[in-house]
Amino acid sequence: MLSVSTQITTGDSLSTFEHMLKSVSFADELIIFNMERTDKEALALFDKYKARVIDVKTPKIVEVIRERQIKEAGGDWVLVMDYDEIVPVELQGEILAIIENLASCSAYAIGRDNYSLGYPLRHGGWERDYVVRLVRKADFVSWPTNIHSAPRVKGSTIKTTKAMEHHKDESLKQMVEKTNRYSDIEAEQFYEGKMAPVTRITLLRKSVMEFIRRYFLKKGFLDGKIGLFQSLYQGYSVFISYAKLYEKQNLIHKK
């Protein structure tokens, strides 16, 4: 039996979410962790897909609820999905084969082909990445609560041959909101790690070097206009994280 465990927040697109739900309709159970959505459209969507809904407070990062997403599932295998990911038919077939053939591995890292604003990203550091999302529940141990962490399992983890689609950026507004949320966490981690004081040179160097790394060294220019856009934006994103650290360091110093 396969359970799909996912989540949605107040800022997430319902149309994107429904694309994901359609792509996992082959599962035996669907669990949605509802992060404070109360709008009629969202509630109607939950009913349409016959989901088991678990209401939770919105965490700063999704990893805070990952362990519960596994433990609440009733299936022998649990597929954890973000609202902006899609399972193509080829990957669906591979997942079903894994379950039906009683695979010996405890977990599978699924490839993700990334898209931004509707464009595929094949360079600039955004080429296919792998995330551990298909887990045999009996072998699950824990899920660390740090950003982009992977679950701990008793046995081995291998990669799938097929990949999901990750439509990570639907709009510039969404990108900025995500950057603001994650930069708060990064700045706090930097500060707690006693990173060296940030200077004006640091702010300039970090943001410019991030652009150069993405656009030139990792060949983001091969993705055309979306490669340029993303490389510039990542420079901005790095600037925001270090600017918040600069603010934090100087406020503490003044006290």
| Tens of pLDDT, residues 109-157 | 999 999 999 999 999 999 999 999 999 999 999 999 998 999 999 999 9
| Tens of pLDDT, residues 18-45 | 999 999 999 999 999 999 999 999 999 9
Q: Give the CATH fold of the 2-168 domain.
A: Spore Coat Polysaccharide Biosynthesis Protein SpsA; Chain A (3.90.550)
* Ranges of each domain in the chain: 2-168, 172-254
pLDDT bin (cut points 50, 70, 90) of residue 66 is very high
Residue 58: is its pLDDT beyond 90? yes
Q: How far apart are CA 147 and CA 224, in angstroms?
A: 29
Q: How far apart are CA 24 and CA 3, in angstroms?
A: 10
Average pLDDT, the chain: 95
Cα torsion 210, 215, 218, 220: sign: positive
| Residue/partner pairs of 16-23 with CB below 8 Å, 24 or more apart | 16/83, 16/84, 16/167, 16/170, 17/45, 17/83, 17/84, 18/45, 19/86, 19/167, 20/81, 20/82, 20/83, 20/84, 20/85, 20/86, 20/87, 21/45, 21/49, 21/51, 23/86, 23/87, 23/88, 23/92
Assessment of whether the complete model's pTM goes beyond 0.95 = no
| Tens of pLDDT, residues 177-217 | 989 988 999 999 999 999 999 999 999 999 999 999 999 99
